[in-house]
Structure 1
Amino acid sequence: MNALLIWGIIALLVAAYAWHFVRQPAWHLRGLVYILIHIMYRLRFRGRIHIPARGAALVVCNHVSFVDALVMGGGSPRPLRFLMDKPIYDSKWLNWLFRMVGAIPVESDRSDPGNVRRALDEVSRALRNGDIVMLFPEGRLTPDGNTHAFRRGLDLILQRDPVPVIPAALSGLWGSWTSHAHGRALSRGPRRFRARVALFFGEPVQPGRATRQLLEQQVRELKVEADAWVHSKR
Structure 2
Amino acid sequence: MNEKERSLRGLTAPPPRWKALWSRPIGRFLDHVVYKTTVLGRENIPAQGAVVFAANHLSYLDGPVMVGASSRYMHVLVRHNMFRGFLGWVLHASGQIPVNREGDRAALQYSKAVLDRGDCVGILPEGTRGTGDAASMNSGVAWLALNSAAVVVPVAILGTRHSGEHRDKIPTPRRQLHVVFGEPLSITREPGVSGRVSMDRATEQIRLRLAAHIAASQAATGQDLPADDHLSSKHKGQQP
TM-score higher than 0.5 here? yes
Instruction: Determine the structure 2 residue equivalent to 1:34.
Output: 28
Residue 232 of structure 2 corresponds to which residue in structure 1? Answer: none
Paired position in structure 1 for 2:216: 225
Change (3 A) 1:184 1:108: closer
Q: Which amino acid aligns with 2:166?
A: G
Alpha-carbon displacement from aligned partner over 1:157-214 (angstroms, at most 9, x marks no partner): 23322421111111111228xxxx533504xx75x43222111111111232892222
Distance 2:107 2:94 in 1: 16
Matches within 5 A, 1:37-48: 37-48=31-42
- 1:158 and 2:145 are equivalent in the alignment: yes
- Cα displacement (A) at 1:25: 7.4
Residues of 1 paired with 2:147 and 2:112: CA distance?
A: 7
Check if 1:94 corresponds to 2:87. Answer: yes
**Secondary structure of the residue that 2:86 maps to in structure 1?**
coil
Structure 1 residue 27, shift from structure 2 partner? 3.9
Q: Equivalents in 1 of 2:85, 2:212: separation in Å?
A: 37
Using the TM superposition, give the Cα deviation of residue 145 of structure 1 relative to its aligned residue in structure 2, in angstroms. Answer: 5.0
Q: Return the letter of the residue paired with 2:135.
A: H
**2:156 aligned with 1:135:** no
**What stretches of structure 1 of length at least 5 have no aligned partner?**
1-23, 110-114
Alignment partners' CA distance in 1, 2:123 and 2:26: 22
Contact residue 145 and residue 174 of structure 1 kept, 8 A: no
Residues 172 and 227 of structure 1 are in contact (CA less than 8 Å); yes or no, is this contact kept in structure 2? Answer: no
TM-score using structure 1 length: 0.73
- The one-character-per-residue Cα deviations of 1:46-100 (angstroms, maximum 9, x if unpaired) are 1111222121111101011101111101001111111121012x13131121112
- Asked if 2 retains the 8 angstrom alpha-carbon contact of 1:197 and 1:230, the reply is no
Aligned to 2:166: 183
Note the C-alpha offset of 1:42. Answer: 2.0
1:201 and 2:201 are equivalent in the alignment: no
Residues 184, 73 of structure 1: CA spacing in aligned structure 2 closer, same or farther, 3 A cutoff?
A: closer
From the superposition, tell whether residues 120 and 172 of structure 1 become closer, same or farther in structure 2 (CA, over 3 Å): same
Q: State the distance in 2 between where 1:25 and 1:123 align.
A: 14
Q: Is the 8 A contact 2:20 2:75 kept in 1?
A: no
For structure 2, which runs of at least 5 residues remain unmatched after alignment?
1-17, 190-200, 225-240
Do structure 1's residue 66 and structure 2's residue 60 form an aligned pair? yes
Residue 172 of structure 1 contacts residue 230 of structure 1 at CA under 8 Å; is this kept in 2? no
How far did residue 129 of structure 1 move? 1.1
Q: Percent identity?
A: 28
Return the alpha-carbon distance in structure 1 between the equivalents of residues 81 and 119 of structure 2: 24
CA RMSD of aligned residues (A): 2.5
- The CA deviation at 1:26 is 5.0
Contact 1:168 1:201 in 2 (8 A): yes
3-state SS in 2 of match to 1:83 = strand
State how far apart, in whole Å, the 1-side matches of 2:52 and 2:132 are.
Answer: 23
8 Å contact 2:126–2:136 — kept in the other structure? yes
